[in-house]
Amino acid sequence: MIRTPSIFVSALLLLQALGLRSQADPPPGAKWTPIREFTDEFEGKDLDLQKWQRGNPNWLGREPGLFVDQNVTVQDGKLQLCIKAENPPNAPKGYHDFTCACLTSRNRVRYGYFEIRAKIMNSKGSSSFWFFNNTPEICTEIDVFEMCAGGSKEAGKIHTGAHVFHAPGVIKEISVPESFVLPAAPEQDFHLYALEWDVDNLRWYVDGKLIRRVENMHWRQTLHLLFDTEIMETWFGLPDKNTLPSVYEIDYIRAWQKR
C-alpha cells in the first residue's frame, strides 16, 4: 500500500486554516456524472425505499446493540440514525440494553466519488459511513469513517480503513486502517466526509481536503453503501445511558462517477 504522510499533515493544517467547505463537488480533473441511485437529499417525509433498506442483510448489529428499523428516520430534511438505551422485545441472545440503527443501499456500486454532510452523535456510540459486500468468492469493505464522542478516548478522531476478508489468491486477511485527529469536535457541527474510489486509488477527504490515499490493489468488487450506529464497547467504550438517545444526522449523500 502507498501512503504519503506529508499529505495528511498538510491536509489537517489546511482544515484548520480554511475551515469548512459547504458546497459539494467532486474533485477537479475529470468529467463526472451523478449516480442517482446513491444520491439523496432526504427531503421527503420518509426514506426512498427504492434506494434504501433499513437494517443490514448480513447481520443484526454488534452485541449488545441490536439494529431496529424504528431507529432509522427522516426528519427536518435529514437522515437520522439513533442509539437508545432500551431492551428490544424478543431480541436474539446477546442483544440487550441498547438499540442501534443501520441503513443499507439496495444497489451496489464500484468506483465513484461519494460525499456526505453529517454530524456524528454526541455519545460513545459509533457513527459510521462505509461500503461492504460479502459473497462466497470475495468479501471486502471500505470504511470512509468510524467516529464517536461522549468522552471516549477515541473522541475527536476519524478512523478510516479498507479490508479484504477473503478473496481469490488472498491467503491472510488484509486490513489497512489509519486514524487522524480532527481540528474540531465533529459532534458539534456538520462536516463534509468523502471517498474517491477508482481503479487505481482510494482517497479520503474531510471538508474538501485530502487526508489519505491508498493504492487500490484489491477493492474492485461492487459494494453496498451503509450508514450505521453501533456499540463498540472494547474500542470506543460503552455509552453512558444518560447520554442516550443520541442521533447521527446526515444532511445528504451525493455521488458521482467518472464518464
CATH of the domain at 96: 2.60.120.200
- For the stretch 128-159, pLDDT in tens is 999 999 999 999 999 999 999 999 999 999 99
23 assigned to some structural domain: no
**CB burial string 39-50: b at 16+ within 10 A, e below:** bbebeeeebeee
Q: Which residues contact 127 (CB under 8 A, 6 or more apart)?
A: 81, 118, 120, 121, 145, 146, 147, 148, 229, 248
Examine residue 42 and state whether it is found in any structural domain, yes or no. Answer: yes
Q: Is residue 107 part of a domain?
A: yes
Is residue 77 in some structural domain?
yes
What's the domain count of the chain? 1
Quote the pTM value: 0.90
Which is higher by pLDDT, 162 or 28?
162
Cβ contact 245:82 at 8 Å: yes
Determine the pLDDT at residue 10. 41
In a domain, 218, yes or no: yes
Longest dimension (CA), the chain: 53
Q: Is residue 131 part of a domain?
A: yes
Q: What is the mean pLDDT of residues 1-23?
A: 43
Render pLDDT for 166-224 as a digit per residue (tens, 0 to 9).
999 999 999 999 999 998 999 999 999 999 999 999 999 999 999 999 999 999 999 99
Per-residue pLDDT of 88-130, as tens digits, reads: 989 999 999 999 999 999 999 999 999 999 999 999 999 999 9
* Exposure b/e, 212-246, CB count within 10 A at least 16 = b: bbbebebbebebbbbbbbbbbeebbbbbeeebbeb
Q: What percent of the chain has pLDDT over 70?
A: 91
State the Cα–Cα distance between residues 207 and 23, nearest whole angstrom: 9
Q: How far is CA 120 from CA 24, 95, 112, 132, 199, in A?
A: 18, 23, 23, 20, 30
Give the range of the structural domain holding residue 237, as residue numbers without chain letter: 5-18+29-258
Residue 21 has pLDDT above 60, yes or no: no
pLDDT at 18: 39
Q: From residue 105, how far is each of 47, 90, 153, 236, 249 by CA, in Å? A: 11, 26, 31, 26, 17
Give me the residue label for grid cell 438505551. 85
Residue 1 has pLDDT above 50, yes or no: no
Are the C-beta atoms of 80 and 114 separated by less than 8 Å?
no
In a domain, 62, yes or no: yes
Position 24 in a domain = no
CA dist 8 and 57 (Å) reads 35
